[in-house]
Amino acid sequence: MATSIHRRRGVRVTLAVAVVATGAASCSSSGGDTGARPSSAGNATYTVWDPYPQFDNGSDWVKLLGTCGTQAGVKVERTGYDTTDLTNKALLAAQQGNSPDVLIVDNPVVSTLADAGVLTTTEETGADTSAVAPNLLAAGQTGGKTYGIPIGANTLALYYNKEVLDKAGVDVAEVKDWASLTAALEKVKASGKKGITFSAIGTEEGSFQFLPWFWGSGARLTTLDSAEGVAALSLWTDWVKKGYAPNSVINNTQTTSWQEFATGDFAFSENGTWQLANAEKAGFEYGIIAIPGKDGGTAPAPTGGEFVTMPVQSDTARYTASQKLVACLTSTDNALATDTTLSYIAATEAVQAKQVAADGELTVWVDAVKAAKGRTSDDLGTKYPKISERMWGAVQAALSGSTTPQEALAAAQAAAASATQ
């Protein structure tokens, strides 16, 4: 299992602060107006909507958009929206016939927009996806069709506090499966420190954090109450019962979970690439290992990150320039800088290799992304949110002690089956 150790001094972290917090919006001159546009004839302005409002016009991201526009022979008019707001505006714009030419959206949203008829397929636009890792591309596939190209990905791993593990006599290299991880947590608790913190809140964040353990058991989202799924939920429940994980996990977001780890009292924290900058500020020596599967190996963690898509246009002649913009934004030449700016691991092996060459400490994240899986993969598409809601409900019920993992997941499976019929 890949591992990476970081010291506060002398460590260069390639990834920047992640795009999970919103800041001052950077709006185009139109202010995101969805008013009617003239056809492509005589109109060289192409609109791009993205979920990065924290990047202003002087940022590397916006500069890249301008460069791609120049190369495509068009002017780019860009608007950055909050992720949730972006989805709603994209659906409304499609209803009004005023969709942007290029739309960059969170990967689980792709199937929702595709199902609503908002997006073109890569077959229609001629986009080349051959170099994209199949497990990452799968997040943008539904019904046998592909609806965009991933701009990069992030995922989850385990951060650890080396001092806490040393004090407990734990060799992190020996943490290779659930049994060895649980044994390590037992030693940490015996040493007077705290074991592991994670987010089990009753939202998509809770499902996102539970999925590596669920998938790492061999379970499938179509059968929540399988023996494997019950084993995964029992693992979390047992950790809380034995005091290896705090009761606070039931209300923890990924941010509050990180804040617990940052106190220096915990051995492990399940979190993502977006915490690397904060890890450097933590004041203690830390490392990162992949989340182990039940019987070893790297567990499939869910992919985060966005897809570059092309919404349907009444004037299909616009697709030619739009595809040039998409190709530019996802090209090998630009992906390294783009994914560094966005705090992502690249979607192609060629760029992943460049990232590792530039910073060997990213190896653990590249390995995690290679093993990762899209939440809407396995052709779940728009069924995933309905299943996820029932899954996080089961996690909450089991961790609160109101029911057993078996009973919680059985009820969740029945509800999910009814909701997805």
211 within 8 A of 281, measured Cβ to Cβ: no
Q: Determine the pLDDT at residue 43.
A: 55
Cα 134 from Cα 258, distance rounded (Å): 31
Cα 88 from Cα 109, distance rounded (Å): 11
- Kindly state whether residues 400 and 268 are assigned to the same domain: yes
- How many structural domains compose the chain? 2
- Determine the average pLDDT of the residues in 340-366: 91
Domain contains 7 = no
Sequence-ordered alpha helix ranges (H) in 268-348: 276-280, 319-329, 332-342
Strands (E), 67-114: 75-80, 102-106
Banded model confidence at residue 5, pLDDT cuts 50, 70, 90: low
Structural element, H or E, at residue 303: none
Q: Determine the pLDDT at residue 44.
A: 87
DSSP state of 139: G
Banded model confidence at residue 22, pLDDT cuts 50, 70, 90: very low
Instruction: Provide the edge-to-edge strand list for the sheet that holds 149-150.
Output: 75-80, 45-50, 102-106, 306-309, 149-150
Domain contains 357 = yes
- Kindly state whether residues 191 and 275 are assigned to the same domain: yes
- Share the mean pLDDT of the chain: 89
Give the range of the structural domain holding residue 398, as residue numbers without chain letter: 156-301+380-419
368 within 8 A of 355, measured Cβ to Cβ: no
- Kindly state whether residues 197 and 53 are assigned to the same domain: no
DSSP state of 29: T
Q: For residue 39, report the phi and psi dihedrals to the nearest 5 degrees.
A: -70, 175
Domain contains 35 = no
- Kindly state whether residues 169 and 294 are assigned to the same domain: yes
Strands 102-106 and 141-142: unpaired
- Kindly state whether residues 94 and 138 are assigned to the same domain: yes
List the one residue out of 277, 244, 310 whose CA is nearest residue 99: 310
Average the pLDDT over each of 35-49, 83-97, 156-170 and give the range with the smallest value: 35-49
Query: Is the predicted pLDDT of residue 73 greater than 90, yes or no?
Result: yes
- Kindly state whether residues 107 and 145 are assigned to the same domain: yes
Total residues found in the chain within this entry: 421
Domain contains 70 = yes
Domain contains 20 = no
- Kindly state whether residues 362 and 390 are assigned to the same domain: no
Q: Determine the pLDDT at residue 32.
A: 41
CATH of the domain at 239: 3.40.190.10
Banded model confidence at residue 30, pLDDT cuts 50, 70, 90: very low
β-sheet bridge partners, residue 199: none
- Kindly state whether residues 81 and 185 are assigned to the same domain: no
- Determine the average pLDDT of the residues in 313-319: 95
- Kindly state whether residues 332 and 260 are assigned to the same domain: no
What share of the chain has pLDDT > 90, as a percent? 83
Query: Is the predicted pLDDT of residue 368 greater than 90, yes or no?
Result: yes
Domain contains 31 = no
Q: Determine the pLDDT at residue 2.
A: 53
SS3 call for 164:
helix
Q: What is the pLDDT of residues 105-154, one digit of tens each?
A: 999 999 999 999 999 999 999 999 999 999 999 999 999 999 999 999 99
Domain contains 396 = yes
Lookup result for tokens 């714009």:
93
- Kindly state whether residues 162 and 220 are assigned to the same domain: yes
Domain contains 34 = no
| Tokens (6 digits) for 254 | 């990924």
Q: Determine the pLDDT at residue 27.
A: 31
Q: Determine the pLDDT at residue 338.
A: 85
- Kindly state whether residues 189 and 222 are assigned to the same domain: yes
Query: Is the predicted pLDDT of residue 258 greater than 50, yes or no?
Result: yes
- Determine the average pLDDT of the residues in 153-166: 97
Q: Which amino acid is present at 307?
A: F
Q: What is the pLDDT of residues 179-206, one digit of tens each?
A: 999 999 999 999 999 999 999 999 999 9
- Kindly state whether residues 162 and 273 are assigned to the same domain: yes
SS3 call for 348:
strand
* b/e 17-50 (16+ beta carbons within 10 angstroms → b): ebbbeeeebbbbeeebebeebeebeeeebbbbbb
Cα 184 from Cα 242, distance rounded (Å): 13
List the one residue out of 159, 189, 400 whose CA is nearest residue 258: 159
Banded model confidence at residue 216, pLDDT cuts 50, 70, 90: very high
- Determine the average pLDDT of the residues in 58-75: 95
Q: Which amino acid is present at 4?
A: S
Distance of CA 185 to the CA centre of its chain: 26
- Determine the average pLDDT of the residues in 342-371: 92
Distances (CA, A) of 187 to 157, 163, 166, 180, 195: 21, 13, 10, 11, 9
Q: Determine the pLDDT at residue 66.
A: 95
